Structure 1
Amino acid sequence: MTGPVLDRRSLLSLGVGAGAALTLPRAARAADDRTYKILMLTFRGETEAERGFRDLLDTAGLKTEIISRDARRDIANLPRMLADLDTLKPDLIYTWGTPVTLGVVGPYDSQDPKYIRDIPVVFALVSAPVQARIAPSFASSGRNVTGAVHVVPTDVQMKAMQSYMEFSTIGILYSETEQNSVVIVREVEAFAKANGAKVIARPFKTDASGRPTADGVEQMVTQLRADKADWLYLLPDTFLGTIYDRVTPAALAAGMPTFGAAELAIREGGALVGLVSRYYSVGQLAGTKAVEILSQGTPPSRIPIETLKRFSLVINMRVAKSLGIYPPIAMLNYAELVTG
Structure 2
Amino acid sequence: NDTPQLLEVKDGLIKGLAERGYVENKNIKIDFKSAQGNFGTAQQIARQFVGENPAVIVSITTPASQAVVAASKDIPIVFTTVTDPLRAKIITSFKHPGGNVTGVSDLVPTERQIDVVKEIVPKLQTLGLLYDPSLDNSRFKTIESTAMGLNNVAAAAQNLVGKVDAIFVPNDTTVYAAFEAVVKVAQDTKTPLFTAERRSVERGAIATVGFDFGDMGKLTAGYVVRVLKGEKPGDIDAMYMKDDPSSLSLYVNSASAAKMGVTVPQSVLSRAAHVF
2:183 corresponds to which of 234, 248, 258: 248
2:154 corresponds to which of 210, 213, 218: 218
The 8 Å contact of residues 262 and 276 in structure 1, kept in 2 or not, is answered as: yes
1:88 corresponds to which of 49, 52, 57: 52
2:211 corresponds to which of 277, 280, 289: 277
- For 1:186-225, what aligned pairs fall within 5 Å after superposition? 187-188=134-135, 191-193=136-138, 195=139, 197-205=140-148, 213-225=149-161
Separation in 2 of the partners of 1:258 and 1:151? 20
- For 1:312-323, what aligned pairs fall within 5 Å after superposition? 312-323=249-260
The alignment status of 1:234 with 2:169, answered yes or no, reads yes
In the alignment, what sits opposite 1:56? Answer: 16
Separation in 2 of the partners of 1:160 and 1:320? 13
> Structure 1 residues 138, 87: closer, same or farther in 2, change over 3 A?
closer
Cα offset for 1:87? 4.6
For residues 89-132 of structure 1, what are the alpha-carbon distances to aligned partners after superposition, in whole Å with 9 as ceiling and x for unaligned? 211111111111112214xxxxxxxx221111112211222232
The 8 Å contact of residues 151 and 276 in structure 1, kept in 2 or not, is answered as: no
Partner SS state of residue 69, structure 1: coil
Separation in 2 of the partners of 1:245 and 1:327? 21
Partner SS state of residue 152, structure 1: coil
Cα offset for 1:214? 3.1
Percent of aligned pairs sharing the same letter:
25
Higher helix share: 2
The 8 Å contact of residues 153 and 175 in structure 2, kept in 1 or not, is answered as: no
Cα offset for 1:318? 2.3
Unpaired segments ≥5 residues, structure 2: none
Cα offset for 1:43? 4.7
> Structure 1 residues 103, 83: closer, same or farther in 2, change over 3 A?
closer
Which letter maps to 1:273?
A
For residues 204-234 of structure 1, what are the alpha-carbon distances to aligned partners after superposition, in whole Å with 9 as ceiling and x for unaligned? 33xxxxxxx234432321221221x122111
Cα offset for 1:76? 2.7
Which letter maps to 1:291?
V
The alignment status of 1:165 with 2:100, answered yes or no, reads no
In the alignment, what sits opposite 2:221? Answer: 287
Separation in 2 of the partners of 1:319 and 1:44? 21
Cα offset for 1:82? 3.1
Separation in 1 of the partners of 2:221 and 2:73? 20
Which letter maps to 1:299?
K
For residues 314-340 of structure 1, what are the alpha-carbon distances to aligned partners after superposition, in whole Å with 9 as ceiling and x for unaligned? 01122122123122112222203343x
The 8 Å contact of residues 270 and 319 in structure 1, kept in 2 or not, is answered as: yes
In the alignment, what sits opposite 1:264? Answer: 199
Unpaired segments ≥5 residues, structure 1: 1-41, 107-114, 175-181, 206-212
Cα offset for 1:73? 2.8
TM-score of the superposition, structure 1-length normalised? 0.72
The 8 Å contact of residues 150 and 276 in structure 1, kept in 2 or not, is answered as: no
In the alignment, what sits opposite 1:97? Answer: 61
Q: CA-atom RMSD, angstroms? A: 2.0
The alignment status of 1:133 with 2:89, answered yes or no, reads yes
> Structure 1 residues 240, 217: closer, same or farther in 2, change over 3 A?
closer
Partner SS state of residue 313, structure 1: strand
Which letter maps to 1:204?
A
The 8 Å contact of residues 233 and 260 in structure 1, kept in 2 or not, is answered as: yes
Cα offset for 1:67? 0.6
